Chains A and B, each alone.
Chain A
Amino acid sequence: EVQLVESGGGLVQPGGSLRLSCAASGFNFSRYWMQWVRQAPGKGLEWVSQINSYGSSTNYADSVKGRFTISRDNAKNTLYLQMSSLRAEDTALYYCARGTDQLARSWGQGTLVTVSS
């Protein structure tokens, strides 16, 4: 069974940093593109970033480019999102998802990031 478990969320002050993790199991992690998608409270889904199976190709939404960095450790079956210069508008539930560069097939349950002073 495919499992994606996000962690690392929490309360952080504006301008601060946070690193999210997504532990994968039940599939060959090193073969799949991975995504981060977020959802602000009461709002819709917003794509954040993606990374290819090797970690050699990444892509970011304009809203986070230059502030967030996606990475992965295939030996540890873990996806990461390093977030810096956080803003109030980054407050959201962050989901990791497995799929291709164009779609998601499996989703985690999410980890909540709150940016507030």
Chain B
Amino acid sequence: DAGVIQSPRHEVTEMGQEVTLRCKPISGHNSLFWYRQTMMRGLELLIYFNNNVPIDDSGMPEDRFSAKMPNASFSTLKIQPSEPRDSAVYFCASSLSGTRGETQYFGPGTRLLVL
């Protein structure tokens, strides 16, 4: 079992550039979550999908952030344009069937630094 795969593991970019983070959930999992981790705010849910459909994006900080899930095995989180305050670790997680209380399996994260 490969687990949740995220790429890239590290990203350094300059302010104003577009950043795309990628996630491959565990095969057979129907729910996918994007979280952001910062020192100040801790772990925050940004958005989650169930069966490729966005269910709740209320955690997305602003219009510069967008997320897509074109199929069951791939999701992207895009920041355009990026700003230094977007520097954080971004985690993707997946769960099996979207049942309440189900275990979420986390990827290793993408560490983003915006200069």
Q: Are A and B physically bound partners?
A: no
Residues of A within 8 A of B (CB): none
Residues of B within 8 A of A (CB): none
